[in-house]
Structure 1
Amino acid sequence: MKQNVVRTIRLPQAIALYVAAVIGAGVLLLPGLAATTAGPASILAWIFDCCLGIPLALTFAALASRYPDAGGVATFTTRAFGPAVGAVTGWFYFIASIVGQIIVPLTGAYYIADALYLGRDATFLIAAAILIAAIVPNLYGLRVSGRLALLLSASVALLLLIATLVSIPRMHAVHWTPFAPHGLPAIGQAGVLIFFAFFGWEAIAQLSAEFIHPERDVPRSTLWSVGLVTILYLGVAIATIGTGTYGTAALDRVSVARLLSDALGIGAGAVAAVMALVISLGTVNAYVAASSRLGYALARDRALPGWLEQLDRQGIPRRSLLFIGVVALLGLILTYLVGWSASSLLIIPNSLGIATYVIGTAAGAWLLAGLSRWLAAGSCLLCLAIFFFAGTSIAIPLIIATVALVYRQWRCQKKSLHSLDAGPR
């Protein structure tokens, strides 16, 4: 009898997984970096992207609650546009997620190594340890990793909330002038930059089949998560601008940690290390869970090798989990040997993530009805506008799409030949 995934996710774990997937290591970098790019007017970019995040989140929630499946966005696009487009979209997200599981642990490791005055070798070892620490709980199912996500998400939310609140006495109106020192184009550039902080609303779609009550808890957890993420992001952005905690590359990198350290009188490096560890571990935990389910679903639908389709007796896709872990670890080794950094890899998940959003929201506009359809259509147009600024990185989705289609065609032909050989003679 074919094994199916097991329903174990309740509302608290769902909210925790959402928050962990969205609030990644970028929150440590982007408030200061965006403020340096556009000045105080960067708050407009934060508001715009927060507003865009709401219809995006609601669109994927509507699709996930209607079509709960481990394939997530690949399943939606298959239903809307056929299996070829579904396979391409699945490959986009699967590869973006694996590369993200190199970037996020490495970003967290940078902060930890900097606080402890460690070298490059130790930095990559810490990154590998973060990745392994996220994979191991997932091998025991979402009941275990969901509890870890709940603990980590609560810690992240508390740290960001404290960073905002303790900064209030040090906020001054003088830091808001001049409001737009670099003009309107800089606000748009900041908006594209900040968009990276809102990746993740699609991630939990891959876990929708494991919600105990997907039709009820997917929308509820989405609404709770949207509210929490919006409050935390805007609070940190306002605190960063209002206290003038930005302006140099060194300060931008630890601006959120500096909000805490300045108010509490402790070292910014130590604060940044703790925040980076908690955030990166929580983000990788959520993405490992989501992408492993997607790998299983793509294999089931003949878009990835069939041996990834197997589930264990508890319904856990351990082969997919281990495959992702091994590939990400190999990616870390390659990054170390070639001399790349986390920022040099960012172009890959950014371009593939935006492409996934464009196709996924287009599927929502096709499949949904009423207000949900209009939200999906509006989100699709806004994502296309952001994709317009992708520049030459648009080549990455085109290359991945070509490889995905060629592989799927080969698997389908192989299956057809096998069926003919096994037929009556």
Structure 2
Amino acid sequence: MYRLIDKEQIMSFWKRIFAKADVKAATNADHQLIRSLKTRDLIALGIGAVIGTGIFILPGTVAATTAGPGISVSFILAAIVCSLAAMCYAEFSSALPVAGSAYAYGNIVFGQIVGWIIGWALILEYMLAVAAVSTGFSGYFASLISGFGLHIPKALSGAFNPAQGTYVNLVAVLVVLVIGILLSRGMRTSMVVSRVMVLVKIAIIILFVVVGLFFIKPMNWHPFTPFGLKGVLAGAATVFFAYLGFDAVSASAPEVVKPQKTLPRGIIGTLIIATILYVAVAIVLTGLVSYTKLDVANPVSFALDMIHQPQLAGVIAIGALAGMFTMMLTMIYSSSRLVYAIGRDGLLPNWFGHVTNGLPEHSLWTVTIIIAIMGGFIPLDQLVNLVNIGTLIAFAFVSIGIIPLRRHKDIDNQGFKVPGYPVVPILSFIFCLIFMTQLSVETWMMSGIWFAFGLIVYFAYGYRHSAK
């Protein structure tokens, strides 16, 4: 009798945690959100997330230490690998235009516990990424205004560390709160600002490329692969993480006009434009200055000084600020929609799933305030690597998830489909696993703590309150 009860309880337990979300209910759950985003808006969101300060730093430092001038090939290889995952995201977003991105996809094709793990990973990714970038924004802003003789008091310029005389990073807090206010005014207003910022950023990148073309010395490209093919491949593994922001585009699904067509265009368009910009900067940068000299904190500004164009350095700082602002806007937007979706499903309190005037304001302001506190008061140096593992976990599940998606009897996708099925999804999954092995032991240990905490939250609350 006891054995029978135990067996029944165990079967009930496993059935519940792997319960799959109902497709019809999931696709109809977000009717309160306003559909206003078009392809150009999604590309602006995507470029906003993918092209940040990294474009002014990564090509130089990776060229100097890992790939040499072959860094341009590294970016192309990384984009090819990333495009495999991008196509998987595009198919999922076409088949299931629902809030929550990879969390929702996992919930539907794998079951509740898998969806929760993906969602928990992405919550960490989004919040840490924005908090870290907010501190970078603060640094660039302080540098820019110092040129006008203005200075931020030391006490207000860094995370809480009385021994060093810093108590709060005021600019980091304020920029996050400004973005929260902007997003609370609705996506139309937010997208106008985002598109303007993205255009400014792209214009400044193009300005650097065009000016730089006149000062290129082809001899700087020789040898093209000083570290050999191994260096180019290692460079690809490093710069791969520069592309990870595009997945934020799929979070906008319930607010997109004609999502089956628009979402795949936004995701793939983001990747193509980002690749062109990264490769162009890499080619010009390594042509301006020998790769051996580029292992500096600001390689683009350094190169401009080397060719006696220091006046453009200030312009680059503006481009960096625009890049960081749009990245934070996209990530705060995406994380608020993720928390909204998890709350809507009952895995977090339903309060997070509340919608006011077409916006999930409760989740938006919760996310905004937490990020502002993290960016303003907490040193994040050792935690930023967790951003990569969170995204790779989502990529891996979305990639292999195409197989059960195609077999799902309740899903009839008439939109985009991954070419080369099932080879492409399996290859994408394998590459994600390979890139995970490149992460440090410390990163795995810290992520293990985060996921253990996440499982405690799930079994203490989500398991008991799930809407399913």
TM-score when normalising by structure 1: 0.89
Change (3 A) 1:269 1:167: closer
Q: Give the 5 Å matches for 1:57-96.
A: 57-96=86-125
Query: Which 10-residue stretch deviates more, 75-84 or 42-51?
Result: 42-51
CA-CA distance at 1:202 after TM superposition: 1.1
* Identical columns (%): 22
Determine the structure 2 residue equivalent to 1:405. 455
Mapped contact 1:167–1:259 kept (Cα < 8 A): no
* Deviation (angstroms), 1:385: 1.0
Q: How far is 1:46 from its partner?
A: 1.2
**Given the alignment, which residue of 323, 345, 349 partners 1:279?**
323
Structure 2 residue corresponding to 1:122, chosen from 144, 147, 157: 157
What's 2:339 paired with? Answer: 295
Contact kept in structure 1, 2:87 and 2:418, CA below 8 Å: no
Aligned-residue offset at 1:220: 2.1
Residue identity opposite 1:397 in structure 2:
S
Taking the aligned partners of 2:30 and 2:331, their CA distance within structure 1 comes to 25
Distance 1:287 1:319, change over 3 A: same
Partner of 2:55: 27
Q: Determine whether 1:367 maps to 2:417.
A: no
Match 1:322 to one of 365, 389, 395 = 365
Is 1:350 the counterpart of 2:388? The answer is yes
How far off is 1:325 after superposition? Answer: 1.1
Q: Measure the CA separation in 2 of the matches of 1:311 and 1:264.
A: 54
Give the 3 Å change call, closer, same or farther, for CA 49–272 of structure 1 in structure 2: same
Q: 1:323 to 1:232 in 2, by over 3 A?
A: same
SS at match of 1:236: helix
- Which structure 2 residue ranges, 5 or more long, are not aligned? 1-28, 159-168, 407-416
SS in 2 for 1:304: coil
Question: What letter matches 1:132 in structure 2?
Answer: L
Whether the 8 Å contact between 2:97 and 2:254 is mirrored in structure 1 is yes
Q: Deviations over 1:39-75 (max 9, x none)?
A: 1122232121121222222221211121011111001
Match status 1:175 vs 2:224: no
Asked whether the equivalents of residues 347 and 465 of structure 2 are also in contact (C-alpha less than 8 Å), the reply is: no
C-alpha separation between the residues in 1 aligned to 2:341 and 2:303?
A: 43
Aligned residues: 411
Match in the other structure for 2:138: 109
Q: Establish whether residue 15 from structure 1 lines up as the match of residue 65 from structure 2.
A: no
2:415 corresponds to 1:380: no
Tell me if the contact between 2:201 and 2:320 (Cα under 8 Å) persists in the aligned partners: no
Equivalence for 2:81 = 52
Kept in 1, the 8 Å contact 2:204–2:315? The answer is no
C-alpha contact 2:129 2:387 (8 A) present in aligned 1: yes
Q: In structure 2, what is the equivalent of residue 310 of structure 1?
A: 354
Cα distance, 1:211–1:260 mapped onto 2, change above 3 Å: farther
What letter matches 2:128 in structure 1? V
Secondary structure of 1:98 counterpart: helix
Distance 1:360 1:397, change over 3 A: farther
1:423: which partner in 2? none
Residue by residue over 1:13-51, the C-alpha shift from the partner in whole angstroms, topping out at 9 and shown as x without a partner, is 122111112112222210111111121122232121121
* Inter-partner Cα distance in structure 2 for 1:320 and 1:228: 31
Q: CA deviation at 1:95?
A: 1.3
Contact kept in structure 2, 1:112 and 1:276, CA below 8 Å: no
> In the alignment, which residue of structure 2 is the partner of 1:140?
185
Structure with bigger helix share is: 1
Distance 1:365-1:391 versus aligned 2 partners, 3 A rule:
farther
Counterparts of 1:266 and 1:370 in 2: how far apart (Å)? 46
Give the match for residue 252 of structure 1: 296
Which of 226, 234, 239 aligns to 1:189? It is: 234
State the shift of 1:232 in Å: 0.6
**Deviation per CA, 1:279-325, whole angstroms, max 9, x where unpaired?**
1111111111111010000111223232211110x220111111111
Find 2:194's aligned residue among 149, 164, 167: 149
Which 5+ residue runs of structure 1 have no aligned equivalent? 420-425
Secondary structure, aligned partner of 2:346: coil
- Structure 1 residues 382 and 414, CA gap change in structure 2 (3 angstroms): closer
1:334 to 377, 387, 398: 377
